[in-house]
Amino acid sequence: MRNRADLIVGIQWGDEGKGKIVDLLAQKYDAVARYQGGHNAGHTIWVDGVKHALHLIPSGVLNPKAINIIGNGVVVSPEALIKEMKQFDNLLGRLFVSESAHMILEFHCQIDRAKELLKADKAIGTTGRGIGPAYSEKIARSGFRLAELRDVDALCGRIEEYFKQNGAIYKAMGIEKPDMKKMRDQLSDFAKTLLPYITNTTKLAWDLLDEDKKVLLEGAQGTLLDIDHGTYPYVTSSSTISAGACIGLGLSPKDIGKVIGIVKAYCTRVGNGPFITEDSGKDGIRLGEQGHEFGTTTGRARRCGWFDAVGVAYASRLNGCDELAIMKLDVLDGFDEIKVCVAYEIDGKQIDYMPQDIDSAKPIYRVFKGWSGSVGVKKWDDLPENAKIYLQEIEKLVKTKISLISTSAERNDTIILD
């Protein structure tokens, strides 16, 4: 039987620490692949005090032996990708980008920002990176794919045609048709730089698995931001859950092996939308300070709150998580009491599942005793007793085994359990 690809997926609202775990595991993988999202993602890796922030290039790039794949389900800003590629040497033969991936061009970003302004107090709080408009065009069958960089004249013709059809609507939003001379020059530059990397990544992924190579799939964003299963409409525009990897790379469900859910020991959200366990008081502020909770992509302050075991159990089931990696345990150091949401109350009734409409849900908390001294711990036995109790209860509430515990941003400050 051929090899199966293992998968890393965020099981809250993103920024769980996926980058750290992908980088750590990637040291033992032959290939790492992104399958959805775009440069709205910000995956941070710290190795020996040096920070690496990745947005589009998979977090396997720090393993010189691993190849990195950007699959067809990703929306790619050529400009952002080229900028990010400059940080690394010798990417040719190590980075492969799907010819079927859709492009984000400058006007997609303008549309994203204009729509947010029009939504006023109902704004989603997007990253402004053009993600929604690029995916909308893909679904509407009028998007622009990377393969089209092979014929820039034909691509410019399609962009002209696109503005003939949509220009009036965009003009009403204050968005002008791009200067086509500048656009042609820019697209030619993109083509020159990117074409050597653009290929059929589905065939590549199949070949790797057929050759018994170890492939790791890197989710972006988080389960509760999923277009179908998240807190719609306050979500991103892609399928962030494990199933999205099949579509976003051309794999079958049978190609997926182990699924690891990445989850913070508390919870954060950046952007608008419901957040049942949000703490807007002093504990939330303290979590933000101790956890340095500022967005890797936009620099925005993240909203902070407590671990929501109902939401995480829902996400674990949706993704088929075999294991959990609990991140940022150290950030809870020094709290006297730590809360975990174990059920929701809606209209006076208690429920233990994620309802469709969670706006009116209130958290029911169980309170745990705090601890100190978890920073940088590398062995289970060295963890404070109250931290062990906390983790054991989380495992029971989420009904998923914990296999990794992270105690600082550094690659090696990680407890690996058998």
The residues assigned a catalytic role are 15, 43
Footprint of Mg ion on 7-46 (CB under 5 A): 15, 42
State the binding partner of 408 from Mg ion, ligand GDP, ligand IMO, none, CB within 5 to 8 A by kind.
ligand GDP
Name the residue type at position 142: S
Residues contacting 141, CB < 8 A, separation 6+: none
The distance of Cα 164 from the centroid of its chain, to the nearest Å, equals 35
| Cβ at position 40, least distance to ligand GDP in Å | 10
225 binds, among ligand IMO, ligand GDP, Mg ion, none (CB under 5 to 8 A by kind): ligand IMO
Determine the 3-state secondary structure of 136 from DSSP.
helix
* Contacts with 191 (C-beta within 8 Å, 6 or more apart), sequence order: 149, 150, 152
20 interface partner picked from Mg ion, ligand GDP, ligand IMO, none, CB below 5 to 8 A per type = ligand GDP
110 and 92 Cβ atoms separated by less than 8 Å: no
Choosing among Mg ion, ligand IMO, ligand GDP, none, which partner's interface includes residue 71 (Cβ < 5 to 8 Å by kind)? none
Bridge partners, 35 (sequence order): none
DSSP letters spanning 277-314: TB--SHHHHHHHHHTT-B-TTT-PBPEEE-EEHHHHHH
Joined tokens for residue 336: 């006297």
- Least Å from the CB of residue 4 to Mg ion: 26
What does the per-residue mask of binding to ligand IMO show for 177-216, with x meaning CB under 6 A? Answer: ----------------------------------------
Which of 67, 97, 109, 225 forms a contact with ligand IMO (CB under 6 A)? 225
Q: Is 108 in the site for ligand IMO (CB under 6 A)?
A: no
Q: How many residues are given for the chain?
A: 418
Q: Which 17-46 positions form the footprint of ligand IMO (CB under 6 A)?
A: 40-43
Report, in Å, the least distance between residue 110 CB and ligand GDP: 25
Q: Which residues bind ligand GDP (CB under 6 A)?
A: 10, 14-20, 42-44, 46, 296, 327-328, 330-331, 406-409
239 is an interface residue for ligand IMO by CB under 6 A: no
SS (H, E, C) 137-181: HHHCCCCCEHHHHHCHHHHHHHHHHHHHHHHHHHHHCCCCCCCHH
Q: Is 296 in the site for Mg ion (CB under 5 A)?
A: yes
